[in-house]
């Protein structure tokens, strides 16, 4: 239980840090014209390795932060983050996703699931005049592409973080990359 609570706390802290970094970055890259959801990188990484309960703690914390920063209805992105985690776990058992490219592809697919799912659920439940337009589907796909690129850049840092959490030594020159 301590490990789950620690995973939730660390997930919350890292999700807030990634969201703050994302907000500053996007302010300089067009004033918010480009969409990005960096905390999803943590959810997909938790889905690819580790126990289910710890992964759920990561997904709940990242989804909560996404909900707060996006201003969506409470619980929408938490629910979709858990679906992304479960999809990542299913992909880890059925697909050969190795290295940076596989991780980036899976983050892109997870971001598309989150963005398109949020739009679809909001369209189904919102009053007719307040439903999001169909033009936002293209923005959700752009977000998936940008998140996949960001995931490729963040992959080495996440691998190091995972090793540090498991208290594994860094691989030496002779041990290879260890990815």
- 139-150 pLDDT, tens digit each: 899 999 999 999
On the question of pLDDT at 34 being above 70, the answer is: yes
Note the pLDDT of residue 175: 55
Note the pLDDT of residue 66: 92
On the question of pLDDT at 101 being above 80, the answer is: yes
Residue 88 CB contacts under 8 Å (≥ 6 apart), including other chains: 43, 44, 46, 47, 48, 106, 110
On the question of pLDDT at 107 being above 60, the answer is: yes
pTM of the model: 0.86
Note the pLDDT of residue 145: 95
CB neighbour class for 102 (10 Å; exposed up to 12, middle 13-18, buried from 19) = middle
- What would the mean pLDDT of 2-9 be, rounded to a whole number? 92
pLDDT band for position 133 (cuts 50, 70, 90):
confident
- What would the mean pLDDT of 153-171 be, rounded to a whole number? 84
Q: What's the number of CA atoms in the CB half-sphere (13 Å) around residue 82?
A: 10
Note the pLDDT of residue 98: 75
Question: How far apart are alpha carbons 90 and 88 in whole angstroms?
Answer: 5
Q: Is residue 35 within 8 Å of residue 140, measured between CB atoms?
A: yes
Calculate the alpha carbon distances from 128 to 17, 87, 125 in Å: 36, 31, 9
The label of the residue with tokens 């596989």 reads 102
On the question of pLDDT at 89 being above 70, the answer is: yes
Structure tokens at 111: 């971001």
Residue ranges covered by each domain of the chain: 2-165
The proportion of the chain whose per-residue pLDDT surpasses 70, expressed as a percent, equals 93
On the question of pLDDT at 95 being above 80, the answer is: no
Note the pLDDT of residue 172: 62
Q: Is residue 66 within 8 Å of residue 37, measured between CB atoms?
A: yes
pLDDT band for position 130 (cuts 50, 70, 90):
confident
Question: How far apart are alpha carbons 46 and 122 in whole angstroms?
Answer: 27
Question: How far apart are alpha carbons 102 and 165 in whole angstroms?
Answer: 22
Note the pLDDT of residue 68: 92
Question: How far apart are alpha carbons 89 and 92 in whole angstroms?
Answer: 5
Q: What is the mean pLDDT of the chain?
A: 87
């Amino acid at each position: 239980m301590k490990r789950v609570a620690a995973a939730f706390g660390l997930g919350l802290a890292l999700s807030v840090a990634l969201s703050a970094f994302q907000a500053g970055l996007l302010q300089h890259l067009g004033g918010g014209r480009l969409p990005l959801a960096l905390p999803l990188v943590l959810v997909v990484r938790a889905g690819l390795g580790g126990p289910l309960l710890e992964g759920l703690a990561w997904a709940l914390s990242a989804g909560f932060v996404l909900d707060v920063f996006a201003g969506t209805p409470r619980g929408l992105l938490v629910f979709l983050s858990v679906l992304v985690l479960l999809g990542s776990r299913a992909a880890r058992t059925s697909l050969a996703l190795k290295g940076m490219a596989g991780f980036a592809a899976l983050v892109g697919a997870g971001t598309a699931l989150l963005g398109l799912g949020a739009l679809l659920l909001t369209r189904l439940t919102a009053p007719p005049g307040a439903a999001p337009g169909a033009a936002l589907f293209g923005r959700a796909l752009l977000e998936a592409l940008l998140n996949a690129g960001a995931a490729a850049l963040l992959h080495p840092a996440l691998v190091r973080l995972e090793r540090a959490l498991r208290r594994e030594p860094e691989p030496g020159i002779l041990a290879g990359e260890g990815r």
